[in-house]
Chains A and B, each alone.
Chain A
Amino acid sequence: MSPPAPPTAHMDSGRDVATRPPDTDLGRDSAGLPELPAPLAPRGARAGKPYALVVLLQLHWFIRLRWIFAAGTLAVLAVERFVTPQAERPPHLWLAVLSVAGINVVWTLLSRPMRRQLDRAGDDHHRAIRAGQLFASAQIATDLFLLTWILALTGGVENPMSVFYLFHVAISGLLLRTWQAFMWSCWAVLLYGGMCLAQALGWLPFYPFLPQLGSVDLYTQGQHVALVVLVVAAAVFGTLYFTDRIGALLDQREAMLIRMNAALEQSRQAIHDLQRRRARFMQHAAHQLKSPLAMVQTFANLIRDGIVTDAAGIQATCEKIIRRSREGIAQVTELLALARVQESDPRRHRACAADVGRIVQEICQRHLPVAQEKGLQMTCDVCDGQSLLAQVDPADLIDCAGNLVENAIKYTPAGGAVRVTVTGGAQAGHADLPPPPATADGRQLADYVFVIVADTGIGIDLDEPHLLRSGGTLPGGTIFDAFRRGNNALALGIPGTGLGLSIVREVVEQAAGYIDVRSCRGQGSTFTVAFPAATAAPVAALNTRSSRIIVAGGGTGPDASARPS
């Protein structure tokens, strides 16, 4: 990005002035992020620096045009004097034109500190803009007066140069606030009308537009003067109306561009964050995988290098190799499960109607031997008398609920209990079910099916309260983050990949459900996951990997076909 050019450069190359600096500033503003202007804010009230710069750059342009005007008029007058010496001009005319040049020197001198002030303005946009608009107003007011003076000396109502009023009105309509532009339009009409009237009534002396041709004395004919003033006034206010509308449109566009730019910057930031998280995840996953692999090789080295030689030692080392290999394979399996869930289309859940009660029961049955072996009491309650169909891909539900049950068994010491409950939100006697979050699109408790896995295990360390939040949006880690494991689990040396709850969260989030965790160290944990109940007739589940999942077929039977379409 180029630094703002010094003021002198603006005087030299007009095109650079008009385009480059506003772009520069748009970029700088949006890089700061994200000061969004209110949409459709009144012009001038929305004080963006780019706008202020445009104002001032236009003033530079204004000053340059004034130089051209003064030089051109003086040149024409000089040529006229040389070619037609008999034509007489009032001496005041020279004074008026020189006044234009003189006052332009003042504007030029003023514009430089103004520009510096704008460059320094920083957050003080409003003041800088107000100053810029005041500067523009002063120039327009003075110009209108000087224009009227010059017209009065060069034919008044007979001089067609009155179109220059429109030029000033157009600029004020584009740059200034509506009321300011309206004020200067009135000022223009007042000056012009007053001048014409004064000359018609003889209060002001009249000088012909082209003294070479003599005057036709139109300025004395009241009807003509009235008509010309009326037409000029109509043109002035018409121009004001159109330019003001165009200015408002341009402002809206500018505001829209700034908003879009900010939105773009935000999404760029989001992509960057995602990439960083992915990279960190990869790094972590690789490290986690390397640990068991490295240990496998370390053990193998012991045998190869002859450090372990006796048969019993070799046997024990081989057992360890197998155990660590299994650990690595478990990690790969979970990583693959997580990747599968993450890359799948979240919309698949809506097309599913999984029989949660049945699936969870099957999961419990599968884990029962492990629980019994460990000396745990395991129960699975599926509430009857209510449909327990939920909008979740059955394969994902197996991953999700399976991980919760597995965790409960893993983190509960012998003699403890694991209690799994499946219930609908409408069921009586479940007043303690966690309510849906505010983001649940107005769904009620009754619109969900709940799987509650409660254990009497080690619980989640209270020293890690940040781990307890279940919302995926909070900064800082949660237990649902990949590879995150509680300190007490680590201290107790309970093996785990730290990926299980990541899978749970991913499935629940994708299925538009929610999670609630209640835990106390040493007193067990209760994980509640809620899936939106499938209210419609169950559709044959799509993307179902497991053939064991049978979708209840009630709705597709005779009832459905008998229903009038």
Chain B
Amino acid sequence: MPDAPYHILLIDDDPDMHDVVRLILPPPSYRVTCCATTAAGSSVLGAERPDALLLDIMLATPTEGLEFARRLEHDPQLGGIPIILISSAPLENPGQVPAGVAGFIEKPLQARDLREFLREVLR
């Protein structure tokens, strides 16, 4: 375990997901910041670089999460943050996910999946 907790940013418009992720990734190992919109997520990203980003695909539009991930990929400061996509629908074009995407989890969310993914990503 590192000295400082891993900082995880979650962008999901479902407040229940915020609770779930906080429960699955408890302190002291993790520190989870939750946002409901990409706009709020952007301001968090601007203030502090998280260790990983959990991103819901279907936000205000059905693919807003993917577009956000694509924007991050081209951002010189924020590129390289590992992104884990979360969606209740299967990934439509697995070949076209942005480069920064390290994993994809289809809802329902399993604690084991999320933790394993993060372990790999944060190693």
**Chain A: residues with CB nearer than 8 A to chain B?**
287, 290-291, 293-299, 301-302, 305, 307-308, 313, 320, 324, 487, 490-491, 493
Residue of A nearest to B21 (CB): A298
Inter-chain contact B111/A290, CB cutoff 8 Å = no
Chain A residues near B110: list those with CB within 8 A.
301, 305
Q: How far is the CA of A296 from the CA of B20 in the complex (A)?
A: 11
Inter-chain contact A299/B89, CB cutoff 8 Å = no
Does B23 lie at the interface of the complex (its beta carbon under 8 Å from any beta carbon of A)?
A: yes
Q: How far is the CA of A491 from the CA of B60 in the complex (A)?
A: 9
Some 22 contacts from A to B, beta carbons below 8 A apart, are A290-B89, A291-B88, A291-B107, A293-B108, A294-B88, A295-B14, A295-B17, A295-B107, A298-B16, A298-B108, A299-B16, A299-B20, A301-B108, A301-B110, A302-B23, A302-B111, A307-B111, A320-B19, A490-B13, A491-B37, A493-B15, A493-B36
Inter-chain contact B108/A297, CB cutoff 8 Å = yes
Q: Give the shortest distance, in Å, between A487 (CB) and chain B (any CB).
A: 7
Q: How far is the CA of A305 from the CA of B109 in the complex (A)?
A: 12
Chain B residues near A297: list those with CB within 8 A.
108
Chain B residues near A302: list those with CB within 8 A.
20, 23-24, 111
Add 11 more A-B contacts to A298-B109, A313-B23 (CB < 8 A). A290-B107, A294-B88, A295-B14, A295-B107, A301-B111, A305-B111, A305-B112, A308-B23, A320-B19, A493-B15, A493-B36
Inter-chain contact B16/A324, CB cutoff 8 Å = yes
User: DSSP class of B's interface residues: helix, strand, loop or mixed?
Assistant: loop
Lowest 6 CB-CB distances: which A-B pairs, in order? A297-B108, A294-B107, A294-B108, A298-B108, A298-B109, A294-B88
Which of B13, B88, B110 counts the most A-chain CB atoms under 10 A from its CB?
B88
Q: How far is the CA of A191 from the CA of B115 in the complex (A)?
A: 103
Within 8 A of A (CB), among B86-123: 88-89, 107-112
Chain B residues near A491: list those with CB within 8 A.
37
Q: How far is the CA of A301 from the CA of B114 in the complex (A)?
A: 13
Interface size class of B (residues with CB under 8 A): 20 to 34
Residue of A nearest to B113 (CB): A301
Chain B residues near A293: list those with CB within 8 A.
108
Inter-chain contact B16/A295, CB cutoff 8 Å = yes
Q: Give the shortest distance, in Å, between B54 (CB) and chain A (any CB).
A: 13
Chain B residues near A287: list those with CB within 8 A.
58, 88-89
Q: Give the shortest distance, in Å, between B112 (CB) and chain A (any CB).
A: 7
Chain A residues near B17: list those with CB within 8 A.
295, 298
Q: How far is the CA of A320 from the CA of B14 in the complex (A)?
A: 12
Q: How far is the CA of A296 from the CA of B17 in the complex (A)?
A: 11
Residue of B nearest to A487 (CB): B60
Residue of B nearest to A305 (CB): B111
Chain A residues near B24: list those with CB within 8 A.
302, 307
Inter-chain contact A298/B112, CB cutoff 8 Å = no
Q: Give the shortest distance, in Å, between B115 (CB) and chain A (any CB).
A: 10
Inter-chain contact A320/B23, CB cutoff 8 Å = no
Chain A residues near B89: list those with CB within 8 A.
287, 290
Q: Give the shortest distance, in Å, between A309 (CB) and chain B (any CB).
A: 10
Q: How far is the CA of A313 from the CA of B26 in the complex (A)?
A: 14
**Given A295-B107, A305-B112, also A490-B60 (CB < 8 A):** yes
Chain A residues near B14: list those with CB within 8 A.
291, 295
Within 8 A of A (CB), among B12-61: 13-17, 19-20, 23-24, 36-37, 58, 60
Q: Give the shortest distance, in Å, between B48 (CB) and chain A (any CB).
A: 24
**Given A324-B16, A493-B15, also A298-B23 (CB < 8 A):** no
Inter-chain contact A298/B60, CB cutoff 8 Å = no
